[in-house]
Amino acid sequence: MRSRTLENGTRRPRERGSATIWTIALMTAVWTVAMVVVQVGVARVARHRAQSAADLGALGAARVALATPDEACDRAKAITTVNGASLRSCALSDGVADVTVTVRFAVPLLGPATAVASAKAGPVGAAA
């Protein structure tokens, strides 16, 4: 390693290239934080999509549950499919629809995942 003579006659080794190493370390840290933020964001969006599909499916099923209970879960399935979700379960009890849906999504660097959401809807005053 080369050294340099200071004004007082002492010798000090040169520190060449340390800024490059610190820059690479800082860029790696920033990239890691950005990827974590992206992954959390993707998961949150999928969770909200699943909850919206469950809510709308439960409302659609509850709307027809008292008049034509045989069609209620078919209605929930149609609504959840249009909203990008898969109907996992649908149950009716005294006009109250209980719907559970799943949404498949891909998390960068981690691969496929599934968001699950449930919702209930029915007439006002119905026992939930």
pLDDT digit string (tens) for the chain, length 128 residues: 455 666 666 666 666 678 888 999 999 999 999 999 999 999 999 999 999 999 999 999 999 988 888 999 999 999 999 999 999 999 998 889 999 999 999 988 889 999 999 999 988 876 65
Q: What is the phi/psi pair of residue 20, to 5°?
A: -65, -45
- As a whole number of angstroms, the distance between CA 74 and CA 42 comes to 29
Token pair listed for 96: 């109250």
Q: According to the model, what pLDDT value does residue 98 have?
A: 95
Spans of all domains in the chain = 22-121
Who contacts 76 (Cβ-Cβ below 8 Å, separation ≥6)? 57, 58, 60, 61, 87, 90, 97, 99
